[in-house]
Amino acid sequence: GAVVSQHPSRVICKSGTSVKIECRSLDFQATTMFWYRQFPKQSLMLMATSNEGSKATYEQGVEKDKFLINHASLTLSTLTVTSAHPEDSSFYICSASGLGSTDTQYFGPGTRLTVL
Amino acid sequence: GENVEQHPSTLSVQEGDSAVIKCTYSDSASNYFPWYKQELGKRPQLIIDIRSNVGEKKDQRIAVTLNKTAKHFSLHITETQPEDSAVYFCAASRGGNKLTFGGGTRVLVKP
């Protein structure tokens, strides 16, 4: 149990375009989903927390108009990077909680975004 | 907000030896402390967690200890094997809430 998928695994896009990343909990209902960003050889930085049917809560310094988060159902959250620039290139990872304990977060496999 | 410090940043051990990673946290209200293992290019995987009502937890070769008074917790890996080589992250949260991660420890187990 506790499987989280993410799609796509890799994406390359041109500067100025938008990219959507999907995060799904496959075998449980995720009351809360989290989006992280990870730079090479660094830790995970929380970008935002989203609850189904509610607006996401963004961490300080994260532009909510640039990183749009939608949590339309208990199994799906999406992150859209709008007007992407090379500095947005990174590894984006989602996690979901809700199976048994609300504390435990299960991570997706991540999405490697490269903006040219 | 919560701040989690993790040491050491890198750790090299001989196969069969023990590895210890230490973390300190700042928020005395934190009550949930998971440890994740992340291999290169892959997702973080939960390996063990502990809650504040427990001082120690063990799962085969892995154990975690928690000192609430001093606000620190540690991961112990015994009889290390090459497949234990990875980056390990500690984290803390108030429960049902966001995790704050430590900076990570790169563990290399030499055969």
Q: Which candidate from A43, A103, A106 shows the least CB-CB separation from B93?
A: A103
Cα separation of A35 and A22, whole Å? 11
Q: Tell me the H-state helices in chain B.
A: none
Sign of the torsion formed by the C-alpha atoms of A17, A67, B44 and A87? positive
Q: What is the pLDDT of residues B84-109, one digit of tens each?
A: 999 999 999 986 678 999 999 999 99
Residues 6+ apart with CB under 8 A from B76: B18, B19, B20, B62, B63, B64, B65
Q: What is the pLDDT of residues B58-90, one digit of tens each?
A: 999 999 999 999 999 999 999 999 999 999 999
* Peptide bond preceding A109 in cis form (omega within 30 of 0): no
| A92 contact B CB<8A | no
pLDDT at B96: 66
pLDDT at B99: 92
| B36 contact A CB<8A | yes
Residues 6+ apart with CB under 8 A from A60: none
pLDDT at A98: 82
Q: Which candidate from B32, B45, B101 shows the least CB-CB separation from A44?
A: B101
pLDDT at A2: 84
Coil, strand or helix at B67:
strand
Of A97, A103, A44, the C-alpha closest to A75 is A97
Of B19, B2, B3, the C-alpha closest to B74 is B19
Q: Please list the rounded mean pLDDT of every run of 10 residues in chain A (116 residues).
A: 92 97 92 92 93 88 94 92 96 87 87 97
Coil, strand or helix at B101:
strand
pLDDT at A30: 87
Cα separation of A26 and B28, whole Å? 35
Secondary structure tally for chain B: helices H, strands E = 0, 11
Q: Which candidate from B41, B42, B102 shows the least CB-CB separation from A43?
A: B102
pLDDT at A100: 65
pLDDT at A101: 65
pLDDT at A1: 67
Q: What is the pLDDT of residues B1-54, one digit of tens each?
A: 889 999 999 999 999 999 999 999 999 999 999 999 999 989 999 999 999 888
